[in-house]
Structure 1
Amino acid sequence: MTENRSHAERALSPRAVDALLLDTTPWLSCDDCFTRMDTHVEALLRTGTSPDPVMDRHLQGCVACSEEAESMLALLRDDSL
């Protein structure tokens, strides 16, 4: 089955390109990221900043983990209202 999508439809968004080109050293796996996610989100809710630069770097380069962190933040913010 051949897809007949135009070049524009296949093009990556600027955010996706930036994420692919980002230097993610020191490297953190998605499994490690999910292990640290609760602590990261709690710190953001408590202080507004993250004390974990490795986690921050991973979230900049990984859309899946970033979306999970954003969802968790939104959920916890809504619960506190």
Structure 2
Amino acid sequence: MTEDTVLSRETIARLTLNTEPWLSCDACFEQVDVALEALFGSSVPPVAELRAHLRGCATCHEEAQSLAALVADQYDMAASVAVARLDIAITTAGA
């Protein structure tokens, strides 16, 4: 007997999101720290590939949020502000 899995609206949205231009999780991991430094240091949004990947990959998105919260003090901002700034940058930049 199998159980049905209930997916949240957020999960369904991520699974059906167009994540082009494509970027692998490994490449995302290699780029996210530099992207956060640029975003917090001079408000330069992440490149399109990284934004698309972070919108579509919950794991990498959570890792990026954790890193943003971790480095927030270096940019004199609260962790919640850093995470919000990242989320705004990946959802609105280039839109």
The interval holding the TM-score normalised by the smaller chain is 0.7 to 0.9
1:75 aligned residue (70, 81, 88): 70
Q: Percent same amino acid among aligned pairs?
A: 39
2-structure distance, mates of 1:43, 1:19: 25
1:11 corresponding residue in structure 2: 6
1:53 corresponding residue in structure 2: 48
Larger radius of gyration: 1
2:30 corresponding residue in structure 1: 35
Q: After the TM superposition, which parts of structure 1 deviate over 6 Å for at least 4 consecutive aligned residues?
A: none
Gaps of 5+ in 1: none
2-structure distance, mates of 1:51, 1:64: 17
TM-aligned CA deviation for residue 48 of structure 1: 3.8
Deviations 1:9-35 (A, max 9, x none): x31111111110011111100001011
Change (3 A) 1:79 1:59: same
TM-score (norm 2): 0.68
TM-score (norm 1): 0.79
2:15 aligned residue (9, 15, 20): 20
Q: How many correspondences in the alignment?
A: 76
